[in-house]
Amino acid sequence: MQPYLSFDGNAAEALSFYAKCLDGKITFSMTFAESPMGKDTPDAYKNKIMHATLEARGHQLMASDMPPGMPHKGYEGFTLSVQGKSVEEGKRLFDALSAGGKVTMPFAETFWAKGFGMLVDKFGVPWMVNCEH
């Protein structure tokens, strides 16, 4: 399974941020204008992302902007989780992803992990960073 996130018009910015934070790369990106329905797309949406794929850490994260007429309702009921190979890497990932966002549980040792923390990034997406014992 792969997560697919829908954004409120800032998918390109979010994926670029995630690529930097996670040492990944965007392997595919298509705007609404570049799609077969481009000529019928309202001007305000032409440069928005219809579909994009980010590859990082051996996984894919897919995303798009909400299409015209479909409001973005935020993120609820899930959390993206990323594993650090070491506490140092976990802390780096946590700090990068939380930049401009909100820390909901500071990165620290827990009874199940050498390092664990929770955050909501600057795009409103919830994350957990974990470094197992």
For the chain, which domains are there? 4-65 (3.10.180.10), 80-132 (3.10.180.10)
Instruction: Please give the model's pTM, rounded to 2 decimal places.
Output: 0.94
Cβ-proximal residues to 39 (8 Å cutoff; 6+ apart), any chain: none
Residue 105, CA distances (Å) to 8, 56, 109, 118, 128 in order: 25, 24, 11, 5, 9
Query: What digits encode the pLDDT tens for the residues 1-25?
Result: 899 999 999 999 999 999 999 999 9
Summarised one tens digit per residue, pLDDT across range 45-64 is: 999 999 999 999 999 999 99
